[in-house]
């Protein structure tokens, strides 16, 4: 029929496609039918079609191919119009027609404004503003400039008068002076540069294109589809299209059933989903009754009811005070009873509250996974919460389903962007172990350089080096510090070779920023680019979308360099991270054929059989409009600036379009970020509207088809994927190991460990699981103790002067070799001087005959539970007294154990050393009675104490030695039993510190599964 024709003198020039309709598919279907595309592949070759963004442009191309019968066609010129939210630049075709001086690049314009900010502070306050602060202020001013360009009618001359009227003269005078940067100095600077204002380029480009179309009309149809007309450039093109013989505007989801009163109310509410569309029609001077529905789209009663419910739920607050009256009006319009109307509108819609974000992500993943069990069905998750989107994507991976989020990600989260950021941190301190390890493990680097040995053995623990040369030297000497460590000499050489490769990369790129106190962003960016290229696999990191983004980042930094001046290397690294977080990059991962994860922008004009709207919490969706840093919000309207609520209206329009789909599940969390959360205003308004019809039964009605979803999520989290099976034993029993696999040799300190934490000893000695040191960890107590022991031993060597200066020098040298910072030594020098003086006095008072044995090894072999067993030890010092007896001395850098702890069997190191000594087990120490066991505390408050000689000692020395001899044999025999349980810290109150296996033991999880509660940490 003629009335249904898309083009022609009598055809409607503005049409709308109803919410909940597959917009792109219907657009392609009608265009193909109108032009005969199936039989004439070039039917749309001369057409120009504008859609909101690049994703919808790709979707339309595919839809036209499908509508043509999946045959090759000559596609139309499909252009991304860009809108207020997308931030996409105007198409090149439009920009090329403006015929004016080219605008500044985004980096240069930001740099120029940054320079103006720094000049202002120098002129007004005599302050040299740090580059990072100036850049942050410039960003806010740039945002204000862009908003002004998109508002068309801004009058900055009213600023001073507004401040006086608001009684803000004293404060506002400073702010108004600062805003002169964009109202006065920025235009002047553009004139000096002979450049155009980049923020007004879209307007100029749109006007130029409209004039070009007027003079040279396009041969084929020109269609603007899916745009709300939110921006002035978009409306300029719309006016031009209306004047063309084959011009057509297709609005998304215009509510043509609004009354005049409702129309006026919506115009006063910028946050309403229809506000932008109505303002667009007013700007085009086009009455709503002349907007026609899209041909071929049939909206049944249920679809109409859903749309009306959603729009009423999002209506201005003053129009929603009496929900019952509103429902009566809607019911009268539809000719249905109130409950029947609401039930029809809610058919296919579910609203589900989940306990937290984790449960919300689990619910979305379950819904998407369930869709795959229905042949041919599709599902899409739409959420503005990028973290939630990533979590759902990861959860789908449990089933081998790869659905990457389609929304752009910050450059810093990509492989290329992260490498650039790491290189900037690395250049500031090439020897930093954590950054260095991250560099070596980066996917672009690890394929080129195998540095596993370097990371595993030589970067961990306390840092013993400053730069990479010192790191190589430290690796070369490591076997002297750790003669019994796990690495070999060949592995040392391999690690040194890896470091040499890194040194060469720094020499090539000249990226070692430690040689200079300050750097400039342009020079530093070049060095970082060279460094990244030198260490990464070719052609990384410049290939792909993220590689292009990384190149763009460095170019941007180079352009900013002259305006930021000199900065510290650390400040430059912060700048790289900040810029990378603001540069979005579209990932190139292949999309799933039936499942999608979209942001609200990517979801525009898209459709799926099941639409999941997640993250529906207040300030998440809709997001709260950001506050202006330099301009009170109440000044925006008088100045002619757009209301920030307009962005809320666009967000509401996105929601309304998606919520009108036939099958929709809305998800929100009761708690977010471990704090109570509030459901989105859209959710509770919809619920309140439904309560006007169903009262207390509304909650059950809104559960819809997803009513069991919370129970499924709870089941998965409680006993599903990744949980322990029913009847799982919390007791770590080595059933697959024979008793013979148990070590046949233990040191005296490990006997204590077997008593305190059997699981850790089993995991380390039998399962062979070794704890890996933390990168860049502070000097641990055991390493500090080893260094002090080494210094005391070196002090006793022949030919060494026995004075305080010598001992202090030895302590300093050994602590430095172990990783003690020089500043720490200097801060504790006075304490060390007191300790050394006390030690020399203690040493002079020793009653010694014969040679003192130091750092002497010993062992005692016996048979336990039918198997040969050896007890070993290394004694710090063994002295022989005048009576022929032995005194065993143990140096402690912490608090020595008490006699009560020794008698209880938890600290058997010294009594067991006595057992070895009495049996002649120590090298070059003849067997003799042990007269004393002495602890010498070499610490801030030095002290010496003999075991079993205190008034409150529960046992004598002889009794402690006898108890230790019998106790350790019973202990080892008990754990040789096949029924032994190697529990994790069974007597946690006696555990001095974490042996490194607590997390592996999963004690808290076992306790929770056994008791039904959380268990908590022991």
Nearest to 747 by CA among 853, 859, 855: 859
- Using DSSP's 3-state secondary structure scheme, residue 77 falls into strand
pLDDT of residue 171: 61
Band the pLDDT of 271: cuts 50, 70, 90.
Answer: confident
Nearest to 987 by CA among 824, 755, 777: 755
How confident is the model over 316-334, as pLDDT tens digits?
Answer: 666 555 677 777 877 777 7
Band the pLDDT of 719: cuts 50, 70, 90.
Answer: low
pLDDT of residue 1011: 38
- Using DSSP's 3-state secondary structure scheme, residue 502 falls into helix
Is the separation of the CB atoms in 640 and 154 below 8 Å? yes
Is the separation of the CB atoms in 209 and 200 below 8 Å? no
Instruction: Examine the pLDDT at 335 and tell me if it is beyond 50.
Output: yes
Is the separation of the CB atoms in 363 and 709 below 8 Å? yes
pLDDT of residue 1017: 34
Is the separation of the CB atoms in 707 and 350 below 8 Å? yes
pLDDT of residue 865: 84
Ramachandran area for residue 869 (φ above 0: left; ψ -120 to 50: alpha; else beta): beta
pLDDT of residue 471: 92
Q: How many CA atoms lie within 13 A of 515 on its CB side?
A: 6
Check residues 1 and 682 and name the one with the higher pLDDT: 682
DSSP string, 957-993: HHHHHHHHHHHHHHHHHHHHSTT----S-TTGGG--S
State how far the Cα of 907 lies from the Cα of 900, in Å rounded to an integer: 9
pLDDT of residue 165: 57
pLDDT of residue 944: 93
Sequence-ordered list of residues with C-beta below 8 angstroms from that of 567, at least 6 positions apart, any chain: 130, 131, 132, 518, 519, 520, 521, 575
Band the pLDDT of 282: cuts 50, 70, 90.
Answer: very high
Mean pLDDT lowest among 69-78, 642-651, 944-953, 982-991: 982-991
Band the pLDDT of 918: cuts 50, 70, 90.
Answer: very high
Strand partners, 853: 878
pLDDT of residue 738: 57
Mean pLDDT lowest among 676-680, 737-741, 858-862: 737-741
State how far the Cα of 702 lies from the Cα of 830, in Å rounded to an integer: 73
Instruction: Examine the pLDDT at 934 and tell me if it is beyond 90.
Output: yes
pLDDT of residue 888: 95
State how far the Cα of 329 lies from the Cα of 732, in Å rounded to an integer: 69
Question: How does DSSP classify residue 679?
Answer: B
Band the pLDDT of 521: cuts 50, 70, 90.
Answer: very high
pLDDT of residue 86: 45
For the chain, the maximum distance between any two Cα atoms, rounded to a whole number of angstroms, is 125
pLDDT of residue 374: 95
Dihedral over alpha carbons 187, 189, 194, 196 (to 10 degrees) = -40
Identify the residue whose tokens are 């011009």. 247
pLDDT of residue 28: 95
State how far the Cα of 757 lies from the Cα of 850, in Å rounded to an integer: 40
CB contact burial 380-408 (16+ within 10 A = b; e otherwise): bbbbbbbebbbbbbebbeeeebebbbbbb
pLDDT of residue 820: 85
pLDDT of residue 1018: 32
Name the pTM for this structure: 0.81
Q: How many CB atoms lie within 10 A of CB 646?
A: 19
Q: In terms of DSSP bridges, do strands 745-747 and 671-672 run parallel, antiparallel, or are they unpaired?
A: unpaired
Q: How many CB atoms lie within 10 A of CB 6?
A: 19
Band the pLDDT of 739: cuts 50, 70, 90.
Answer: low
pLDDT of residue 133: 86
Instruction: Examine the pLDDT at 640 and tell me if it is beyond 80.
Output: yes
How confident is the model over 782-802, as pLDDT tens digits?
Answer: 788 888 988 999 998 888 999
Residues of the chain with pLDDT > 70, as a percent, come to 91
The torsion angles phi and psi of 946, rounded to 5 degrees, stand at -100, 140
CA angle 565, 567, 571 (to 5 degrees): 135
Q: Which helix (H) or strand (E) holds 380?
A: strand 379-382
The torsion angles phi and psi of 830, rounded to 5 degrees, stand at -60, -40
Q: How many CB atoms lie within 10 A of CB 810?
A: 21
pLDDT of residue 970: 93
How confident is the model over 366-392, as pLDDT tens digits?
Answer: 999 999 999 999 999 999 999 999 999
pLDDT of residue 721: 55
pLDDT of residue 320: 55
Band the pLDDT of 544: cuts 50, 70, 90.
Answer: confident
Question: How does DSSP classify residue 156?
Answer: G
Is the separation of the CB atoms in 622 and 613 below 8 Å? no
Is the separation of the CB atoms in 57 and 51 below 8 Å? yes
- Using DSSP's 3-state secondary structure scheme, residue 893 falls into coil
Band the pLDDT of 82: cuts 50, 70, 90.
Answer: low
Residues of the chain with pLDDT > 90, as a percent, come to 45
Question: How does DSSP classify residue 460?
Answer: B
How confident is the model over 223-263, as pLDDT tens digits?
Answer: 999 999 988 888 999 999 999 989 999 999 998 877 787 78
First to last CA, the chain: 79
The rounded radius of gyration (Å) of the Cα atoms in the chain is: 38
Distance set, CA 929 to CA 530, 640, 871, 876, 907 (Å): 70, 98, 19, 18, 21
pLDDT of residue 1009: 43
pLDDT of residue 299: 73
Is the separation of the CB atoms in 352 and 363 below 8 Å? yes
Specify the length of the chain in residues: 1018
Is the separation of the CB atoms in 511 and 427 below 8 Å? yes
- Using DSSP's 3-state secondary structure scheme, residue 874 falls into strand
Output the average pLDDT for the chain: 86
Instruction: Examine the pLDDT at 679 and tell me if it is beyond 80.
Output: yes
Sequence-ordered list of residues with C-beta below 8 angstroms from that of 92, at least 6 positions apart, any chain: none
How confident is the model over 954-1007, as pLDDT tens digits?
Answer: 999 999 999 999 999 999 998 888 778 888 888 766 676 677 888 888 766 655
Instruction: Examine the pLDDT at 84 and tell me if it is beyond 90.
Output: no
pLDDT of residue 639: 85
Instruction: Examine the pLDDT at 97 and tell me if it is beyond 60.
Output: no
CB contact burial 688-722 (16+ within 10 A = b; e otherwise): ebbbbbbeeebeebbbbebeebbebbeebeeeeee
Residue 818: asked if its preceding bond is cis (omega within 30°), the reply is no
């Amino acid at each position: 029929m003629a009335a249904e024709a898309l083009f022609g003198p009598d055809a409607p020039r503005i049409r709308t496609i109803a919410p909940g309709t597959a917009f792109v598919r219907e657009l392609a279907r009608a265009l193909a039918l109108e032009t005969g595309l199936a039989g004439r592949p070039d039917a749309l070759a001369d057409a120009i079609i504008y859609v909101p963004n690049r994703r919808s442009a790709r979707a339309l191309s595919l839809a036209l191919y499908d509508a043509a019968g999946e045959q090759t066609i000559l596609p139309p010129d499909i252009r991304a119009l860009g809108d207020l939210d997308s931030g996409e630049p105007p198409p090149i075709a439009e920009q090329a027609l403006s015929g004016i001086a080219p605008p500044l690049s985004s980096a240069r314009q930001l740099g120029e404004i940054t320079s103006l900010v720094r000049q202002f502070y120098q002129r007004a306050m005599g302050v040299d503003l740090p580059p990072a602060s100036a850049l942050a202020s410039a960003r806010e001013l740039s945002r204000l400039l862009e908003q002004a360009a998109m508002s068309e009618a801004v009058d900055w001359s009213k600023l001073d008068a507004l401040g006086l009227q608001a009684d803000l003269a004293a404060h506002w005078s400073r702010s108004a002076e600062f805003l002169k940067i964009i109202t006065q100095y920025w235009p002047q600077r553009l004139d000096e540069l002979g450049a155009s204002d980049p923020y007004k380029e879209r307007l100029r480009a749109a006007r130029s294109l409209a004039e070009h179309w007027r003079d040279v009309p396009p041969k084929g149809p020109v269609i603007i589809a899916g745009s709300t007309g939110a921006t002035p450039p978009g409306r300029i093109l719309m006016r031009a299209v209306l004047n063309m013989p084959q011009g057509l505007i297709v609005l998304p989801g215009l509510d043509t059933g609004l009354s005049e009163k409702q129309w006026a109310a919506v115009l006063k509410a910028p946050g309403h989903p229809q506000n932008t569309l109505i303002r667009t029609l007013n700007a085009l001077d086009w009455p709503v009754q002349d907007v026609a529905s899209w041909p071929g789209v049939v909206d049944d009663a249920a679809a109409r009811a859903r749309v009306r419910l959603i729009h009423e739920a999002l209506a201005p607050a003053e129009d929603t005070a009496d929900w019952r009256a509103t429902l009566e009006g809607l019911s009268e319009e539809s000719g249905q009873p109130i409950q029947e109307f609401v039930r029809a509108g809610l058919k296919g819609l579910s609203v589900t509250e989940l306990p937290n974000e984790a449960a919300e992500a689990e619910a979305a993943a379950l819904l998407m996974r369930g869709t795959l069990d229905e042949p041919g069905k599709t599902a899409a998750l739409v959420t503005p919460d990028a973290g939630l989107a990533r979590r759902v994507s990861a959860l789908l991976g449990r089933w081998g389903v790869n659905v990457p989020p389609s929304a752009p990600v910050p450059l810093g989260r990509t492989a290329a962007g992260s490498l650039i950021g790491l290189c900037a941190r690395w250049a500031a301190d090439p020897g930093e172990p954590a950054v260095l390890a991250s560099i070596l493990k980066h996917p672009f680097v690890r394929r080129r350089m195998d540095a596993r040995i370097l990371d595993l053995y030589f970067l961990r623990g306390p840092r013993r080096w400053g730069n990479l040369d010192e790191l190589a030297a430290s690796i070369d000497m490591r076997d002297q510090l750790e003669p019994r460590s796990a690495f070999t000499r060949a592995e040392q050489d391999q690690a040194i070779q890896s470091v040499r490769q890194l040194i060469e990369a720094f020499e090539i790129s000249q990226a070692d920023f430690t040689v200079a106190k300050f750097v400039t962003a342009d020079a530093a960016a070049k060095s970082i680019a060279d460094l990244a290229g030198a260490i990464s696999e070719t052609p990384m990191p410049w290939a792909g979308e993220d590689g292009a983004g990384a190149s763009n980042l460095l170019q941007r930094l180079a352009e900013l360099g002259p305006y930021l001046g000199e900065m510290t290397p650390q400040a430059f690294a912060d700048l790289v991270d900040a810029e990378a977080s603001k540069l979005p990059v579209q990932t190139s991962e292949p999309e799933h054929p039936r499942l999608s994860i979209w942001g609200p922008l990517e979801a525009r004009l898209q459709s799926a059989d099941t639409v999941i709207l997640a993250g529906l919490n207040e300030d998440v969706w809709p997001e709260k409009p950001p506050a202006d840093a330099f301009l009170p919000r109440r000044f925006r309207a008088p100045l002619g600036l757009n209301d920030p609520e307009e962005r809320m209206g666009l967000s509401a329009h996105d929601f309304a379009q998606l919520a009108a789909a036939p099958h929709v599940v809305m998800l929100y969390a009761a708690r977010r970020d471990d704090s109570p959360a509030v459901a989105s205003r859209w959710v509770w308004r919809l619920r309140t509207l439904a309560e006007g019809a169903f009262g207390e039964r509304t909650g059950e009605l809104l559960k819809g088809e997803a009513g069991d979803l919370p129970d499924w999520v709870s089941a998965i989290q409680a006993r599903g994927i990744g949980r322990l099976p029913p009847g799982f034993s919390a007791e770590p029993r080595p059933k697959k190991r024979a008793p013979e696999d148990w070590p046949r040799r233990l040191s005296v300190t490990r006997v204590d460990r077997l008593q305190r934490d059997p699981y850790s000893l089993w995991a380390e000695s039998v399962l062979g699981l070794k704890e890996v040191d933390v990168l860049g960890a502070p000097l641990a107590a055991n390493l500090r103790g080893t260094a002090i022991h080494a210094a005391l031993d070196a002090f006793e060597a022949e030919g060494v002067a026995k004075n305080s200066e010598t001992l202090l020098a030895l302590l300093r040298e050994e602590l430095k070799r172990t990783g003690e910072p020089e500043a720490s030594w200097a801060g504790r020098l006075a304490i060390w001087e007191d300790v050394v003086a006390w030690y020399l006095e203690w040493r002079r008072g020793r009653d010694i005959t014969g040679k003192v044995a130091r750092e002497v090894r010993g062992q005692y072999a016996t048979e336990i539970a039918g198997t040969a067993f050896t007890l070993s030890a290394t004694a710090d010092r063994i002295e022989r007294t005048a009576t022929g007896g032995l005194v065993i001395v143990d140096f402690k850098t912490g608090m020595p154990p008490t006699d009560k702890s020794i008698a209880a069997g938890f600290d058997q190191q010294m009594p067991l050393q006595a057992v070895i000594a009495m049996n002649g087990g120590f090298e070059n120490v003849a067997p003799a009675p042990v007269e004393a066991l002495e602890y010498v505390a070499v610490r801030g408050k030095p002290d010496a104490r003999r075991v079993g000689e205190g008034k409150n000692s529960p046992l004598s020395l002889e009794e402690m030695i006898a108890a230790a001899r019998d106790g350790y044999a019973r202990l080892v025999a008990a754990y040789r039993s096949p029924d032994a349980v190697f529990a994790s810290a069974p007597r946690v109150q006696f555990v001095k510190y974490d042996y490194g296996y607590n997390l592996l033991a999963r004690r808290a999880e076992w306790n929770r599964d056994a008791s039904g509660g959380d268990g908590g940490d022991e």
